Amino acid sequence: MSSWSRRGLLAAMAGAAPLPLLAQGGPQGGVQGGASGDWPSGPIRIVVPFAPGGSTDAVARLAAPGLQSALGVGIVVENRGGAAGSLGTDVVAKARPDGQTWLLTFDSHAVMPALVPRLPFDLRRDLEPVTLIGGAPYVAACRPDKPFRDLAGLLAAARARPGAVTFATPGNGTIGHLVMTLLGSRAGVTFQHLPYRGGGPAVNDAVAGHVDMVVGSAALLAPQIAGGTLRPLVQFGPQRLPALAGTPTAEEGGFPGLQAEAWWGVFAPAGVPAPIVSRFHEALSAAFREERVARQVTEGQQARLVLAGPAELGRFLDAQVETWGRVVRENDIKAD
């Protein structure tokens, strides 16, 4: 079965659905040893700073059973959406640094400092990196009857009709918006951005032909690409997805370093003891390596598992904040 099938995408959500908001744990006590000997002291809360039903929520709920088994306590997945993810992030930034509250967030985390004015927290001062779970490339796709068939054709159309070629995204300041802005700048062309309130409406209008193309994560576009109602033009990952082996990356198209991936990362309130951070990272990584969960992430979210630790996530976040913050500032991009 092709990993681009609708069944693969729905598998992650179906696998996550039976998990209640509070998974009942076994005897409390959990991880023992060193400074984390009395941790966890009760149910662990994972804050997702977005509404239920999205990819971040699904990823959190996929990890919860494995975490519960490893740590011996209940796992609460708490959705705190609003303000591009900053409301839920602030909850974690202000939580007690006791290892009972964690943040599982999305790529918009790196754009917040530039996009949301007067954040009540500092990403690096108030939050501790824990785990970079994985990433999935952003993809630009269009209806099969559009005249451009690849990145070169798209750029040629944009040069022939400056500002007339349109692209839809789930909103202003999303990574899809920013990577197309960066592509236009580097290629010397101008696209017209049409922001939508969510990925579903953006995809629907691209399929209907109301916009020239849509830019979204591979998981968002997978059902339409599999069904033939959208044709991929370019993918922005570090290498080609196996399921998109015929679609070159932007780097292969002549734009070295031009990468954009949807990614999921876990953070803790600053001050959580290092042994607790280490043990939570180990338990979380083990949960995602479980065969069923790994398959649902790689197929359902079209993601590659990374499972990198605190130092790697910190360096990755710094690079993402620098890259996308510069695009926001130089192009005076505002949030919806």
User: pLDDT tens, position by position, for the chain (336 residues)?
Assistant: 333 333 333 333 333 333 333 333 333 333 333 455 789 999 999 999 998 988 899 999 999 999 999 999 999 999 999 888 999 999 999 999 999 999 999 999 999 999 988 999 999 999 999 999 999 999 999 999 999 999 999 999 999 999 999 999 999 999 999 999 999 999 999 999 999 988 899 999 999 999 999 999 998 998 999 999 999 999 999 999 988 999 999 999 999 999 999 999 999 999 999 999 999 999 999 999 999 999 999 988 889 999 999 999 999 999 999 999 999 999 999 887
Residues contacting residue 106 through CB under 8 Å, at least 6 positions apart = 50, 54, 55, 56, 85, 262, 263, 264
Residue 187 lies in a domain: yes
Spatial separation of the C-alpha atoms in residues 313 and 310, rounded to whole Å: 5
Show which of 199, 215, 244 is a domain's final residue.
Answer: 244
The CATH number for 164's domain is: 3.40.190.10
Residue 336 belongs to a domain: no
Identify whether the C-beta of residue 249 lies closer than 8 Å to the C-beta of residue 240. Answer: yes
Is the Cβ–Cβ distance between 64 and 104 less than 8 Å? no
> Domain of 83?
6-135+262-330
* CATH code of the domain in which 53 resides: 3.40.190.150
Final residue in a domain of this structure, among 244, 279, 311: 244
Distances in whole angstroms, Cα of residue 89 to Cα of each of 29, 158, 192, 284: 27, 38, 31, 19
Q: Specify whether 196 is located in the same domain as 58.
A: no
- Say yes or no: 112 and 172 in one domain: no
Is residue 298 one of the residues assigned to a domain? Answer: yes
Tally Cβ neighbours within 10 Å of residue 203: 23
> Are 232 and 266 in the same domain?
no
Provide the domain count of the chain. Answer: 2
Rounded Cα distance, 249 and 240, in Å: 6
Q: β-strands 231-235, 127-142: how paired? A: antiparallel
Find the angle CA(238)-CA(241)-CA(245) to the nearest 5 degrees: 115
Do 125 and 155 lie in one domain? The reply is no
Q: How many Å is the Cα radius of gyration of the chain?
A: 20
* Residues 145 and 207 reside in one and the same domain: yes
> 13 and 125 share a domain?
yes
Which burial class, exposed, middle or buried, applies to 40 when counting CB atoms under 10 A from its CB (0-12, 13-18, 19+)? buried
Residue 254 located in a structural domain: no
pTM for this model (two decimals): 0.85
Residues 162 and 119 in one domain: no
Beta-sheet pairing, 101-105 with 44-48 = parallel
